[in-house]
Amino acid sequence: MLFPKLIPLALVLGALALPACSDKEQEAVAPAAAVSQNAAGSNTLSPGESLQEGQALVSSDGRFRLEVQYDRNLVIYQAGQGAIWASNTQLGPNEYRTWASKYRLDMQGDGNLVLYELDYSNSIIYGTIWSTGTYNQPGAYLTMQNDGNLVIYRNGAPTWQSQTGGR
């Protein structure tokens, strides 16, 4: 009885097709080699920086962190309290992750914060999972604040926020 259970899993892993992103989205994405550096452990994600799954952006006081989870979800955690915000992009009960995919959160040069699904080599974009929609904001950066609010700033003014501040 083990064999019939393996067939659907093999079909899912071998034939799962994910939506491709548009030409405009592909042009806006910096390839992995062009990403300036990894900001894991920092409280700021500057234009061109990214976080890989399993990495986090941490407030400077260490109480809050934005994690790129292996289940495709972005989650802000408060120390001792648990999750306080999520992008709600986690895999559903009937969705399967392909063996060759991974997730990367990019702070793009145009000011948009985007979660991508990529092939394991970081060279092929399978699709956009989530974004803040804050494009046309060059120079914008993301910061995990000490009050628990995740904010994109441009020229000192917020352009997007998680609205989780005041904690």
Q: Is the pLDDT of residue 130 over 90?
A: yes
Helix ranges, the chain (H): 2-15, 23-28
Query: Shortest CA distance to 70 belongs to which of 37, 118, 102?
Result: 102
pTM for the complete prediction? 0.74
Distance CA 35, CA 108 (A): 9
User: pLDDT-based confidence at 10, cuts 50/70/90?
Assistant: very low
Q: Is the pLDDT of residue 121 over 50?
A: yes
Mean pLDDT value of segment 82-100: 83
Q: What is the CATH number of domain 19-161?
A: 2.90.10.10
Distance CA 65, CA 139 (A): 23
Mean pLDDT value of segment 62-73: 95
The better pLDDT of the pair 121, 142 is held by 142
Q: Enumerate the domain spans of the chain.
A: 19-161
Query: What is the SS3 assignment for 163?
Result: coil
